[in-house]
Structure 1
């Protein structure tokens, strides 16, 4: 745990008692703060009571007593409309912050300059965060990983000069972190996502920009328009910027050609890594993730041999193109983390002869952008709320079966794959949707897929 001593003696309102909310309340309490917590879900309040926290309906509180509102990232700050606690905080004239902001303030108070790597992007941020962590740990570094992946940030060990925090950040978390100043900030890419929470693409991109705008070293992917514009603004402002691209471009940065990653500084270019044969890093999207990890590792002082060894031993990320089992020639792949079409595109590019399970709570734009890859799909198995919309998009191009639920889809896809005459059929769960219509999160969805696959007769599970 990281006790938030910088808030000691202050009274704080806290709303949102999920995993990160309870961890935040406990860290504040451990640091000497007086926390009054609440949630709209009675079950969450019961969990907070069990953890020894003080709860009360914040509608009835005297907000003039509070120094700040600590808001869980899943609670709307601006769109589609501010949560009622946001209105009360603004009426009281107090700041609204999140748990990563509390970490940043504690870092400034107890270990200013402690290594802090913050990573964001519409896609790839979890893989990159896990990969950076693995490479650093393989080289002997004390690394704490969390944020939007794994543990809540305040559940991690405190910042220290000899400890690196590698933190994945969603746009929701960035929006609640006004003093974000990481040692190294990574922005991988920006494509439309979460517009229901940010209103416009411009708002969404501006929030993402804040992560790298305050970084000592900014690492920015420039293969999309919004990110490229951000890199140009930072360079014009005199900030230290390293670019990531599939093409070799002027300036300092990293690019990738096939499986090889190169670094350019001035007029000098050198090969720094080769991903050939690393199954957990297949595909062009993982070449970008690996290039970002190499850039972070070099910024923190690792040598090329340490970096290549770390890349080669990376086991991959759960729920992201995770090869979970085989049944005869068929391969089962859990890509539950693909919660939008852009993320699913990476999986479809990586496999042929796909028996594709998709659907859930749809994102804006649906799956139309995936049309160029429909020839890779043997059949589609639709689940969840998006079924009819997706069926219309696939009509005439891909055979479709409306399955409704994941258990029906897995059974149907496995049976069809077994009857097919292709060399390596791939049963791919890559939903291109959020999970919230049927599951609390993509992890639960992915674990259910794994359980359903495990139950198939004769299946050989991967460890």
Structure 2
């Protein structure tokens, strides 16, 4: 844990007692703050009380006694409207921030030069974060991995000059971290997502920009217009920017050509890595992720040979292009983390002869942007609330069935694959949130994995 000593002796309000919220309350308490916490879920309040955190109904609190409000990233700060706790704090002139901000203030106090690598982007940030941590660990660094991936940031060991923090940051977390200033900031891409929480694309992109705009060194994907603007804005501020692209560079940086990653310098284009035959990094999107991770590794002094060796031992992340197993020539892929069309596009680009399982709670735009990939799809299996609208979008271009549930979709897709007598991919890439049928994408992906592993004849080779 990282005790938060910067608020010692102060009274702090906290709303949201999920995993990171409870960790934050305990870190503040450990650092000497007096915390009064609240949550809409009575069970969460009881759990916090059992761990020694004082709770109360903050609707009835005297806000003049609080120095600050720590808000869970899942709680609306601005859109569609501010949460009542945020309104109360603003009315009382109380500053509002989240756990990433608390870490940044503690780092500034106890180890301002401690290596801190922060990663964001609409898609690919979890894979990139995990890959950076893996490469640095293989190179012998003491690495702390967390944030929006896995472990809450304040449950990690405290910052120090000999320890590297590799932290994934969502737009919600960045919005609550005004002093976020990493040693190396990584921004991958921007596409429409979370607009219900940020209002407009301009607001969303501006929040993403904050992570790299205050970094000592910025590594920025430049394959979309929003991100190119972010890179240009950072350069204009005098920040050291390394561009990353899967298409073309206007100058130096890291460029991918198929499975190869090139370091483009004044001496020419130097091959630094080959992603061929690395199942955990298949596809153009993973080439971008790998190129960004390699750029970080170079900045940290890791050799090209050590980077290549580390790439080959990277197992990938659950639920993101995860090979679950094979039956004959049929590959089963768990891509449950693809909760929007842009993310699903990466999977559809990577395979042919696809038996596509999709659906759930639809996001803005649906799957209309995926039409160019419809010729690659042999059949679609629709589940969840979006079934009717997705069926209409697929129309006569893609044969589809309303499987309704994931269980039936896996059963039907496996049967159809067996009848094809040709290589095929059964792909769960929903392009939707899971909330209509599952608590989150992890539960959905785990269920898919168990369904596949129960199929007769399955060879459950991970990273297949």
- 1:74 maps to what in 2? 74
- 1:461 maps to what in 2? 460
- 1:100 maps to what in 2? 100
1:267 is displaced (CA, Å) by: 5.2
What are structure 2's unaligned runs of at least 5 residues? Answer: none
CA contact 1:7–1:31 (8 Å) conserved in 2: yes
- 2:32 maps to what in 1? 32
- 1:426 maps to what in 2? 425
- 1:63 maps to what in 2? 63
- 1:448 maps to what in 2? 447
1:279 is displaced (CA, Å) by: 1.4
Secondary structure, aligned partner of 1:26? helix
1:145 and 2:149 matched: no
User: What is the RMSD of the two structures over their aligned residues, measured on CA atoms?
Assistant: 1.1
Deviations 1:169-193 (A, max 9, x none): 1100000000000000011000111
1:29 is displaced (CA, Å) by: 1.0
Deviations 1:131-184 (A, max 9, x none): 101111111111111111111111111111111111111100000000000000
- 1:392 maps to what in 2? 392
| Matched pairs, number | 462
Cα distance in 1 for partners of 2:98, 2:356 equals: 38
1:264 is displaced (CA, Å) by: 2.1
Secondary structure, aligned partner of 2:448? helix
- 2:203 maps to what in 1? 203
1:376 is displaced (CA, Å) by: 1.0
Deviations 1:212-256 (A, max 9, x none): 000100011111001001111111222110001123423331111
Once the two structures are overlaid, the 10-residue window that deviates more, 236-245 or 87-96, is 236-245
Secondary structure, aligned partner of 1:13? strand
Cα distance in 1 for partners of 2:124, 2:214 equals: 21
- 2:436 maps to what in 1? 437
- 2:17 maps to what in 1? 17
Cα distance in 2 for partners of 1:267, 1:90 equals: 54
- 2:116 maps to what in 1? 116
Cα distance in 2 for partners of 1:314, 1:378 equals: 31
1:327 is displaced (CA, Å) by: 2.1
- 2:8 maps to what in 1? 8
Where does 1:264-303 land on structure 2 (aligned, <5 Å)? Answer: 264-266=264-266, 268-303=268-303
Cα distance in 2 for partners of 1:355, 1:299 equals: 41
CA contact 1:114–1:163 (8 Å) conserved in 2: yes
CA contact 1:128–1:289 (8 Å) conserved in 2: yes
Secondary structure, aligned partner of 1:36? strand
1:462 is displaced (CA, Å) by: 2.6
Deviations 1:266-288 (A, max 9, x none): 45432211111211111111111
Structure 1 length-normalised TM: 0.98
4+ aligned runs moved over 4 Å, structure 1: none
Cα distance in 2 for partners of 1:312, 1:119 equals: 22
Deviations 1:349-369 (A, max 9, x none): 111111111111111111011
Deviations 1:46-82 (A, max 9, x none): 2222322211110011111111100000101111111
Secondary structure, aligned partner of 1:460? coil
CA contact 1:241–1:252 (8 Å) conserved in 2: no
Deviations 1:69-97 (A, max 9, x none): 00000101111111000000001101110
Where does 1:249-268 land on structure 2 (aligned, <5 Å)? Answer: 249-266=249-266, 268=268
Secondary structure, aligned partner of 1:256? strand
- 2:415 maps to what in 1? 415
